[in-house]
Amino acid sequence: MDTLTAPQVITSENLLKHWQGHRALTRRVIEAFPEKEFFTFAIGGMRPFSQLTAELLSIGAPALKGIVTREEGAYNEADAAKLTTKAEFLAKWDEATAQINTSWKQLKTEDFSETFNLFGQYEFPIIENILYFIDNEVHHRGQGYVYLRALGIEPPFFWERY
């Protein structure tokens, strides 16, 4: 049995689909916020959802680009922090979706177990860094669900990943 036909716990293609499914749901959560509350509403001293989204934008596409080019540029949230409207965030989100798809094509199955020092700071196997991006997004999006509920807004269904 050669490499290509060997059974996989998850294939690279399906891991991308899984991540982009989560990203589609996060996009719906951004859309669900009223314009003002996206930038201002928070609970218990936490960041508003715009700032959580700025973090996600500063990880996903740039982090994956760092991984496939093996460039250890520092984490930089400055660009995403400059966005001032939901429309700008959504446009940047869609741009990142395309960038992630492009970068992903450069990942080979054997790359996932290689160690890479992401942002010059997080030295882990690439699969662990990628799972961290996804988990961090699910974590912060779950917080966004509480913000929406506190605002009396019904969040999208958790299984809406298209």
Nearer to a second copy, 101 or 158 (CB): 158
Q: Using CB atoms within 10 A of its CB, is residue 35 exposed (0-12), middle (13-18) or buried (19+)?
A: exposed
Asked whether position 47 contacts a second copy by CB under 8 A, the answer is: no
Nearer to a second copy, 44 or 82 (CB): 44
Contact status, residue 99 vs residue 65, Cβ threshold 8 Å = yes
Q: How many residues bind a second copy (CB under 8 A)?
A: 44
Asked whether position 34 contacts a second copy by CB under 8 A, the answer is: no
On the CB side of 84, CA atoms within 13 Å amount to 1
Contact status, residue 39 vs residue 50, Cβ threshold 8 Å = yes
| Span 61-120, contacts to a second copy by CB under 8 A | 108-110, 112-113
Asked whether position 143 contacts a second copy by CB under 8 A, the answer is: yes
Q: Which of 77-85, 87-95, 97-105, 137-145 is the region at the interface with a second copy (rule: CB under 8 A)?
A: 137-145
Q: Which helix (H) or strand (E) holds 130?
A: helix 126-150
Asked whether position 45 contacts a second copy by CB under 8 A, the answer is: yes
The structure tokens listed for 132 are: 């961290």
Q: Interface with a second copy by CB under 8 A: which residues? A: 1-3, 6-12, 14-15, 18, 22, 43-46, 108-110, 112-113, 127-128, 131, 134-136, 138-143, 145-152, 158
